[in-house]
Copies of this chain bind each other. A is one copy, B any other.
Amino acid sequence: MPETPLPVRLLVCVTCRREGDDPEAPRQGARLRDALAGMLPDDVELQPVECLGNCKRSCTVALSAPGTWTYVFGDLTAESGPDILTGIGLLAHSSDGLMPWRGRPEVFKRSMIARIPPLSTLKDAAE
């Protein structure tokens, strides 16, 4: 486990709605972003994105850090901030670029949408 946590980049789709949401109400993804803004450590870079392409299983976030895989998670709500915070902690302390399974919040076990390896892994594999 690295001594210094890796700086995590968190992308939040602010366009996401959930089925049955009031179309006049603020979007669930935007509410999730607002909630996260108030609870993240300073070294986490929070970036709103208009559509991460996972519209069928919204709300959606993507997490990555230098040298780690990029993870996309779905089926989230405006109240998922604490679970996302747990996932950020797991990735920030990863020593192999992967988010460990153990310790993941349930929604991160059940609702991984995709994961993409870092460029460095691919270069190693090609050598």
Q: Contact residues of A with B, CB < 8 Å?
A: 9, 11, 47, 49, 51-54, 60, 62, 70-72, 112-117, 122, 125-126
Bound form: Cα–Cα A115–B9 in Å = 15
Q: How many copies does the complex hold?
A: 2
Most chain-B Cβ atoms within 10 A of its Cβ — which of A51, A70, A116, A126? A116
Bound form: Cα–Cα A101–B53 in Å = 13
**Partner pick for A116 among B62, B112, B117, B126, CB 8 A cutoff:** B62
CB<8 Å pairs between A and B, sample of 28: A9-B122, A11-B116, A11-B117, A11-B122, A47-B122, A47-B125, A47-B126, A51-B115, A52-B114, A52-B115, A52-B116, A53-B72, A53-B113, A53-B114, A53-B115, A54-B113, A54-B114, A60-B114, A62-B114, A62-B116, A70-B116, A72-B72, A72-B114, A72-B116, A113-B113, A113-B114, A114-B114, A116-B116
Bound form: Cα–Cα A70–B72 in Å = 12
**Whole-angstrom distance from the CB of A108 to the nearest CB of chain B?**
11
- Nearest B residue to A50, CB-CB: B117
B residues in contact with A116, CB < 8 Å: 11, 52, 62, 70, 72, 116
